[in-house]
């Protein structure tokens, strides 16, 4: 399925925060959204997921729903959002409850999601027994269990240290290689966007509008061996947002003071 944002605009009272934005996520593709602080990245993701109604414009999906899809749009959160009293398997099973699925199908979906994320040996562990990277793997497995059409990923690696973030990026690359998924991926980390996305959309400072679009033709699985080419793309992205990022940072500092 394709996710389509058509002329999306959003305002908070008198504050024009976002848009107009035109953006599409094609089937099996990852689109990353980057930009300076306060440009509306998280607002855009919330609109895409139906958590916020846009002031103007529309969000639509086109194409066939994947077989076995229980929730076309599914979030992966920055803060993991796990229930601490439930095991890994029980956390992954949470979005399957109340869906009318038989016990065997629920178990099969959980087992498949755990296998795809390398968590099968940790099914009975509690979140407090896991590292941050492992907890985020649980969040990803929980999203995969409903077989979504599009993953909505809100800075999913930003709470992790650099080494763990690199390992999770490798995991996401492997996941996409096994079964390509679609994702709208919000991040402030340019290197992360370049490593994972087929297309990077750069937003301007508020009101956030599309300032640049960079398509990356290097296959995701091959990017670890093309670091020089990726560095050039990362530098282009930084040049696109550097001045506005500095201005946005000063604006935020003035608000805090």
Crossing angle (nearest 10°) for helices 132-144 and 103-116? 130
Give the pLDDT confidence score for residue 40 in this predicted structure: 87
Give the pLDDT confidence score for residue 80 in this predicted structure: 76
Cα angle at 169 between 116 and 189, to 5 degrees? 145
CATH number of 2-65+149-256: 3.40.50.300
Give the pLDDT confidence score for residue 94 in this predicted structure: 93
Give the pLDDT confidence score for residue 227 in this predicted structure: 75
Instruction: Give the 3-state secondary structure of residue 147.
Output: coil
Give the pLDDT confidence score for residue 255 in this predicted structure: 45
Give the pLDDT confidence score for residue 162 in this predicted structure: 84
Please state the domain extents for the chain.
2-65+149-256, 83-148
Candidates 137, 118, 117; CA nearest to 127 is 137
Q: What is the pLDDT along the chain (257 residues), one digit of tens a residue?
A: 899 999 999 998 888 989 899 999 999 999 999 988 888 898 999 999 989 999 999 999 988 888 888 888 999 888 878 999 999 999 999 999 988 899 999 999 999 999 988 899 999 999 999 988 899 899 999 999 999 989 999 988 887 888 888 888 888 998 898 888 899 999 988 989 999 999 999 998 888 899 999 999 888 888 775 677 888 888 888 887 877 766 655 555 444 43
**Radius of gyration of the chain, Cα coordinates, nearest whole angstrom:** 18
Tokens of 212: 């640049």
In terms of DSSP bridges, do strands 15-25 and 210-215 run parallel, antiparallel, or are they unpaired?
A: unpaired
19: left (phi over 0), alpha (psi -120 to 50) or beta: left
């Amino acid at each position: 399925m394709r996710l389509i944002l058509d002329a999306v605009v959003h305002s908070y009272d008198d504050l024009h925060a976002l848009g107009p934005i035109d953006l599409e996520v094609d089937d099996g593709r990852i689109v990353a959204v980057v930009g300076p602080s306060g440009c509306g990245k998280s607002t855009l993701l919330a609109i895409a997921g139906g958590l916020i109604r846009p002031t103007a414009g529309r969000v639509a999906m086109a194409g066939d729903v994947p077989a076995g899809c229980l929730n076309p749009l599914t979030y992966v959160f920055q803060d993991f959002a796990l229930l601490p009293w439930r095991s890994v398997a029980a956390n992954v099973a949470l979005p399957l409850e109340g869906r009318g699925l038989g016990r065997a199908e629920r178990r099969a979906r959980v087992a498949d999601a755990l296998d795809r994320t390398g968590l099968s040996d940790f099914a009975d562990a509690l979140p407090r027994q896991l590292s941050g990277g492992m907890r985020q793997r649980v969040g990803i497995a929980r999203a995969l269990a409903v077989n979504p059409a599009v993953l909505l990923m809100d800075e999913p690696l930003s709470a992790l240290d650099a080494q763990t973030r690199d390992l999770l990026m490798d995991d996401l690359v492997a996941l996409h290689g096994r079964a390509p998924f679609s994702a709208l991926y919000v991040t402030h980390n340019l290197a992360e966007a370049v490593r994972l996305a087929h297309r990077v959309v750069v937003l301007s400072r508020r009101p956030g509008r599309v300032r640049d679009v960079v398509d990356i033709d290097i296959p995701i699985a091959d990017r670890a061996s093309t670091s020089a080419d990726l560095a050039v793309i990362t530098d282009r992205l930084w040049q696109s947002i550097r001045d506005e990022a500095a201005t946005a940072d000063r604006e935020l500092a003035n608000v805090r003071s």
